[in-house]
Structure 1
Amino acid sequence: MDVMGGMMLWMTIWGVVGLALLVGLGVVVVRAVRPGSRASQVPWADSPEEILRRRYAAGELDEDEYFRRSSGLRD
């Protein structure tokens, strides 16, 4: 195998590796932004009203506290 043949082999290998990395990156990005995916459902993406409702439903807040905080969010 001459020098040019060896260079072509390495260029082909690195080309395939680079293409695989780009495809993998594309798959990760698509899965992260697709609606309904686990990655797009981050806890801090919920609205303050939704967090307040969830805390009230879980019993962390009593009714008075819920309505006080709810009216504070509307202001």
Structure 2
Amino acid sequence: MQWIENSIEDNLFVNFCVAIKILRYHYDNNEDANNKIVHEIQLNQQMSLYYNNIARLYGITKEGARKTFSLVMEYANDGGNV
């Protein structure tokens, strides 16, 4: 996965709905939190290989004030949980 600095501001991604999954782990140089985030991403990637009803992971973003990461995922408009 590649970090794209300022992708929103540069309008690289526009005009489609996504689901945002806020991870409750603070990234403030906390190795345990970082490992949990990586595990969450790896789990999504592995499960999506075998099941077609897993929401696709588009990317990850960080929010500086709260020091949290969020997963940007496929929006399932037919219901269900992300």
Is the helix fraction higher in 1 or 2? 1
TM norm. shorter chain > 0.5: no
Report which structure shows greater RCO (CA 8 Å, sep ≥6): 2
TM-score, scaled to structure 2 = 0.27
* Greater Rg over alpha carbons, structure: 1
Is the strand fraction higher in 1 or 2? 2
